[in-house]
Structure 1
């Protein structure tokens, strides 16, 4: 259900259940969480198999949950999304084909979201009396703004790659998202981790600037001007 492959400084994590558009069961969430816990590479590339990113939660599983089980399943998905967001390195989502519900939420937890021209996004649960509960109600407005988030979440409409780029849901439309992840992995690993930590840090401007200056001083200790010629 989850496949991993390591190529130097890049770990590819693939949601591999194409017959269900990579929908995730509790076992699938466990496997994804394990794949992230085992990762040590500076860049993780998250993608889906078979022409889809992920349909999110497997609705056949959701339909059989009682209230307590549903809350536990939501907490489980939130924990996995948090593992993506808090990973000590860059996490790149490569969305090729549909991302739905929890699939959108997992992408939102990544640091960079890349779409192919075939990518589409939708929070379709609203038509079924459901909504994304893997952290999406917090992350979506932070990424695209409250107005766009309300539109996407309340309408359940499908957003194509061009519209996703305009609203800031993705940062680029590319034919080969993996190649972008490869390029990011070519950068200095410690600096990647430092930049992510600073960009995600809380605090007022003065505090953030002080942290930035201190982190820059730490990186200077390892700086080699000859690296510019490589």
Structure 2
């Protein structure tokens, strides 16, 4: 008998309608893997960056304390998204680098929420280091990752993160309003690029499913 290649029962990972891979029910690692490989999860991570950027641009006159809270929450939520993304099947070879990015975001988020560190210089330093470090690690993942369907978009996001970190560190803002506008602008730019990565991943998953369904048959 003949069956479509890749559709044999009991072999290979299964996918949800949006392309996420999932494995054994109740297995935490498989659940994280399924979430991390979903394009909607990647889009959620992008919105986590885009929305705070829009907020701080719309209300640039808020106090430094409010800005620190917004940035701190952004870093902590992003850390959660990056942690889950590290368990995606395509990230197995670069899992350590991705987990380091998640830890970097989490530590920076905690620092931003600490009252003694809520100064313009400290906030600029924290965000600049996070963007520079995460951009470098993301660039490594984009270069070293084998078979990444969205390599170009991922590398573009990494490069933008590196540039953002360098700009924030090299051009420290002299006021809370200036810092707010600078960080808001970069958050919006990074969020837009990450959205492009999410849609590129969705297109890659769609092509993969179409190729699987219309691929050659194998004789069993």
- When the two structures are superposed, what TM-score results if normalisation uses the length of structure 2? 0.31
- When the two structures are superposed, what TM-score results if normalisation uses the length of structure 1? 0.30
Greater helix content: 2
Report the structure number with the largest CA radius of gyration: 2
